[in-house]
Each structure stands twice: as C-alpha cells, then as structure tokens.
Amino acid sequence: MSIEARKTKAGKNYYFVRVKSGRELVATKAFATKREAEVWERDQKHLLETGRPLAPKRTYTLEKLVNEFIEARAVGNPHTVDTDRNNLTVLRPELLRRPLASIHAGDIRAILTAQLRNGKKPSTVARTKTTLSALFTYAADRGLLHQPHPVRTMPKIPELSTVAQRAVGPKDVPTTSQIEAVLAGVRERRADIADVFEFMSLTGVRWGELRAIRVDWLAELPLPQLLIDRSHSDRYDEKSPKSWRGTRQIPLSPRALQIFQQHARNKAPGDYLFTNEHGGQLSVGVVRKFPLGFRRHALRHYAASTWLRIGTPIHEVAEYLGDDPRTVLAIYAHILGEQQRLAHAARLAAAERPQLNGGHLGDTWSPSGPSI
C-alpha cells in the first residue's frame, strides 16, 4: 500500500492511493487531502486482513437501518411487508435514535418482555421477535453489525418457546354448546354467515382459504372431499396456502357436504362458494359484523380438537389442517392428555366395581385372587 502526492495539470495537489494484495493491485483512489487518503488506506487494509467491513459510524442509527431494511423488503410478499412494518413499530423513538452499535440483546429482550406484560399473546410477540431477528440478520449480512446478534444471543424467554407460544389450552377452544349457541344467534340475523362459521368449525379451514374456495373444489369420489390449494387474504393477492405445498384434501362430514352443496347451487364451477349478498367474494368486513365471543381462528381449533377426540390419528389431522404433525402435537397436547386422563378414569372405575359389589379393591390388583 502506498500514498503518493501528485499534482493535477492545473497544479492542484491530490493524493493517490494504491492498495495491493501481495503483488496484485486490488484498488486505487484519489483524494483531495492526505488525511482522507490515510483513512481510506487504513480501511482497505482492514478489509484485506479481516474480510469484514468496518463498523458503521456512530451517526448510523437504528432508525436508518430500519428504513433500509423496509426498503429492501418492499419487493417481497405484500403481506410479509405489512407484517414487518407493523412489528417494527415496537421500537421506541429513543431506541431508534441510538447508534446501531449500541443496540444489544438486553434492549431487544426488554421490548419483547414488555409486550408480554402488556397482554400480547406469545404468538404475536414471537412474530415480532422473528421480524427483529430478520432486521439484525440483514445488518450482519451487510457488514453493519459488529456486536453479537441482539436477538440470537439474548437469554431465552420461556413464553416464546415453540411449545408455549403455539399450545392451545382448554379455554382457547369453544365447546360444542358454545358453538351451537353462537351459530343459532348468527343464523337469526344472517343464515349464510352462520353457514360460513359452521363450515369453518367442521373443516378447520383458515379464513383466507375459505374466501378462495370455488364450486369445483369438491371431489365426490371415492368420498366427498374439499380440495384446498389456494388462499386469498383480504387486500392481498391470492397465493398458495400457508405452510403447505400442493393440494390438500379434507374429508367432509354429511353436514359440511350439505352446506357446500347448498351454497354451490346455481353457480358455475369457477364461482366462489361463499359470497356476499351481491354475489361477490366474501370479505372480512362482513363477518366482523357478527362477533362470536371468541376469535374466528378458534373454529379451526375446534375442528382439530373434535377430530383428535374421535380418534383421528395425529398425522391425518395434520394433513387436513395443512400443518406438520409436530406442530399438531405442540398445539393440541392438552387434547391428547385429555384422552389419556379419560382412559385412566375408565380404568379407575373398572377397578372399583368389585368393591362396590361387596368385594375388595385388592381383588383387582392380585392375579392370584384376594389378599388375606
């Protein structure tokens, strides 16, 4: 490496820098001042020795990184872009004004734990964590992150473990009597909307998948099945269903088939199955006028819980939901535990019958007869 003082044809001084790697010339640049030339030469030497860019200046703030990240992601899936924008609003103004180099794991963990304390669901906070992780990974890929990754290195938050954030408890799944009461109330106002909710509780389809269902998505042989291969969330383009590849098949109960055929009547094969009063595609704004008293997504949980309770194998339930069997195990562990407790209660009842008939409880545990 060398810095050579030169003059332009007009007689003005400048400094020409040559950077070599071994005998190979890898970079050259001219500067008006010697100080600028020395700084650039030092930076190039650092790059050659470490292979990593220098840390950004203290004037490079977290806010600048966020803006560049959002701009870079803007060409992606619109739904993901909106989710990222929304998740990044958790970064407080005072944090955004700080230099990127000053942001550490404790700052990010404080944000996430505050969300949990304020009543945010673990799954919602986990999505925020995912966006923040992507933000700092983007910085690392650009050579801007010279401190440990703030998300990857922060102490674990138990509530955000995969099992904890996705597990569904008994209070998260409406009972059959709750479903029946809600549907009866909605049916008095709009029978077609009641059918929509009931169909979701019978098939476990997501809202976007339900909106996309066409009349020709029914296969009747060898058994009535709903074919799901598209999803259409409000305000976004139609796409493949979440967490699934190809077409998935959901066997229909007699009642689900009845609802399908009723709404398919007098429609062309490519028409939407569930429509608004004007025959257009159903929108979330319409169904929100009919509150259920629980989240609409709970209808999907109700369907999955029903299937597990009647003995449907986990891998089949996962296939019908479009999920991984491990995900089903994590989400619906309480249902599987419920079946085990019911079986245990049945064994207890069977064990007590001899005692109730005048025998001894010990009779049931000794293979050689009653103990003396």
Residue 162: the pLDDT is 62
| Angle value at C-alpha 70, between 65 and 73, nearest 5 degrees | 125
Task: Give the pLDDT mean for 307-327.
Answer: 91
Q: How far apart are CA 237 and CA 230, in angstroms?
A: 10
Answer whether 344's CB lies under 8 Å from 265's CB: no
Q: How far apart are CA 94 and CA 111, in angstroms?
A: 13
At residue 177, the pLDDT reads: 95
Reported as a pLDDT band with limits 50, 70 and 90, residue 326 is confident
Place of tokens 């990010």: 108
From the list 167, 201, 198, 177, the residue with the least C-alpha distance to 299 is: 201
Select the more confidently predicted residue: 148 or 339. 148
* Mean confidence (pLDDT) of the chain: 87
**Cα–Cα distance, 314 to 248 (Å, whole number):** 16
pTM over 0.75: no
In the numeric block, which tokens belong to residue 264? 């398919």
Tell me phi and psi for residue 55, to 5 degrees: -65, 145
SS3 28: strand
Q: What is the pLDDT of residues 82-122, one digit of tens each?
A: 999 999 999 999 999 999 999 999 999 999 999 999 988 88
210, 175, 209, 208: which is closest to 294 by C-alpha? Answer: 175
For residue 300, give every residue at least 6 positions away whose Cβ sits within 8 Å of its Cβ, in sequence order, or none: 200, 204, 205, 206, 321
What's the whole-number mean pLDDT along residues 141-152? 89
- % of residues, the chain, pLDDT over 90: 56
Has residue 191 got a pLDDT over 90?
yes
Model pLDDT, residue 113: 95
214-239 mean pLDDT: 92
Across 170-276, where does the E strand assignment appear? Answer: 218-219, 225-228, 248-251
Q: For residues 248 and 40, what is the distance between their CA atoms, to the nearest angstrom? A: 58
Query: According to the model, what pLDDT value does residue 174 have?
Result: 92
Q: Say if residue 143's pLDDT is above 80.
A: yes
DSSP state of 204: -
Write b or e for each residue in 61-86: b if 16 or more Cβ atoms lie within 10 A of its Cβ, otherwise e. bbeebbebbeeebeeeeeeeeeebee
pLDDT for position 282: 93
**CA 241 to each of CA 110, 238, 261, 302, 322: distance values in angstroms, whole numbers, following the listed order:** 34, 9, 23, 20, 8
Banded model confidence at residue 354, pLDDT cuts 50, 70, 90: low
Question: What does 120-178 look like in DSSP terms, one character per residue?
Answer: --HHHHHHHHHHHHHHHHHHHHTT---SPPTTTTSPP-GGGSHHHHH---GGGS--HHH
With b for 16 or more beta-carbon neighbours within 10 A and e for fewer, the 230-249 pattern comes to bbbbeeeeeeebeebeeebe
Q: Is the confidence at residue 337, as pLDDT, over 70? A: yes
